[in-house]
Every structure is written in structure tokens, then in C-alpha cells.
Amino acid sequence: MGKFTGEFRAAPWLPTNAIGLLDQLIHPEWDIIETGSGASTFWIAERARSVVSFEHNPAWGGAVTGEAARRGLRNAFILTDEGYPRSGLTGHLKARGIKGYDLALIDGRGRVRSIETAIPFIRPDGWIVLDNANRPRYEKAHQILAAEGWKTTVLQGLIMPEKKRGFTQFWRKPSGSTSKQPKKMRIRISEPQTDAGAERKP
């Protein structure tokens, strides 16, 4: 841990159908939050205006920062903070001065706390994406988002090349509706624009 080896095309370590949906959703003018930096950080930076990625491990954060610089990704900002899984994202996001974000990919430590503190920063019709959403310890996050009326869909599929089954949940923020009942979304997913490479997060 702490360095990248060999040449690879960046890809999130998510089910292929979840990668495909992210690829459809992300627009070049989007600002994105990520927890748990890695190859997905580079993949997002290649598609969005900016990505701010939270990392709890200093050695890994340094490696991701170095690789982002090697790739010339000036729109990727890696924030190494060992305490963010407990304290949340609020302080760092306020300090960055961006009024709103279009999507948050939650795939690092402290996922419930990260979601709680990311919600106010997500623009209307924006997204929170929770990986490993089937884990019971994330139930509180589901309850919070459902209570606020976020629409949701769960994607299950294989993480390649390991062929490991993964569960990723997409939540969409209401555009101003007062409805408090979460709704399931109908989504058509195309193949992701990426190779079979996958990242491993520490």
C-alpha cells in the first residue's frame, strides 16, 4: 500500500453496471465529492469539472496525489484527514468554497457520517452513491435519505476482473418536492466507457 505500480486505465472498484450508470450521469461541468480515494479519483477527474476526494490514510493519500499529478489531473483534490470518518466532511467542504456538488461517491471509512454531512452540499436533483449498500451498518444512512424523500435504486452486479458480487445504491435528491416517500427509479444502463481494470481501496 502507498504506491501505484505499472500502467493502468483508472476504473472504480464497483459493479460494472454501477460504473456504467455513473458514466452516463457525470457531466463535464459537475463538481463531485468522493470518500475513499484511488483509481476512481482519476476516473472521475477525467469526466467532471472537479473531484474532492477524502482519504483517511496519509500514505495512500500521498500516493493518489502523486499519481494524479503524474496524470496531469489538476482538477483532482485529495484531502488526507485521519479524522474525517468521525468528524465528517463539513469543515473541509466549507473551506473549499464551492456552493454545491452534483454527486457524492461514498466508498471510504465512516460512510454514515460522510452521508450525513454531505447531504446539505448536494444540489437539488444531485446524487449520493453508496457502495456496499447492503451492509447492515449503513442502515442509518438509508433511513436518513429515505426520510428526506430521496429517490433510490440499487444495482447488483459483478466487480471485474475478480467477479466479486457488489451492491451499489444510487440516491437522488428531490428537486424541491415535499414528498417524504422514497421512490424507485427506472434506469437504463449502458456499458461503461472503461477497461476491465479495477481499484482496491485500503
- Per domain, the residue ranges of the chain are 16-172
Which CATH code fits 16-172? 3.40.50.150
> pLDDT, tens digit, for every residue of 148-168?
999 999 999 999 888 899 999
Which are the contacts of 150, defined by CB distance < 8 A and separation ≥ 6?
A: 128, 171, 172, 173, 174, 182
- Which SS3 state, helix, strand or coil, does residue 112 take? helix
Residue-level length of the chain: 202
pLDDT over 70 percentage in the chain: 83
> pLDDT, tens digit, for every residue of 46-88?
999 999 999 999 999 999 999 999 999 999 999 999 999 999 9
